A and B are shown apart, each in its own frame.
Chain A
Amino acid sequence: MAEIRARGSVIEVKVDRREREALLQIVDRVLPMVDDSALATPRAYVDDVLEAEFRRLSGPDLDDTRAVDLEVLRSTLRTQGPIELSEDQAWSWLRMLNVLRLALAERLGLAEDGWEERFSQRQHRRPPLATLHLLSWIQEELVESLPEI
Chain B
Amino acid sequence: MGACALGYAFVSAVHEGVAEHLETVGSGAPEERRDRPWRVIVWNDPVTLMSYVVVVFRRILGYDLETATKLMLQVHTEGKAVVATQPRERAEVTVAQLHAHGLQATLAHD
Contact A44 B92 (CB under 8 A): yes
What would 26 A/B residue contacts be, using CB atoms closer than 8 Å?
A: A39-B104, A40-B102, A42-B103, A42-B105, A44-B105, A44-B107, A45-B107, A46-B108, A58-B95, A62-B96, A62-B99, A91-B59, A95-B100, A98-B101, A99-B102, A102-B48, A110-B46, A110-B47, A113-B76, A136-B49, A140-B51, A143-B55, A144-B51, A146-B55, A149-B55, A149-B59
For residue B53, give the distance in angstroms from its CB to the closest CB of chain A: 10
- B48 is contacted by which of A62, A101, A112 (Cβ under 8 Å)? A101
A46–B43 Cα gap in the complex (Å)? 14
Residue ranges of A at the interface with B (Cβ–Cβ < 8 Å): 39-46, 50, 54, 57-58, 61-62, 65-66, 91, 94-95, 98-99, 101-102, 105, 110-113, 115, 132, 136, 139-140, 143-144, 146, 149
In the complex, chain B residues whose CB is within 8 Å of the CB of A58: 92, 95-96, 99
B86 within 8 A of A: no
Main secondary structure, interface of A, reads helix
Assess whether A111 is in contact with B92, with CB atoms less than 8 Å apart. no
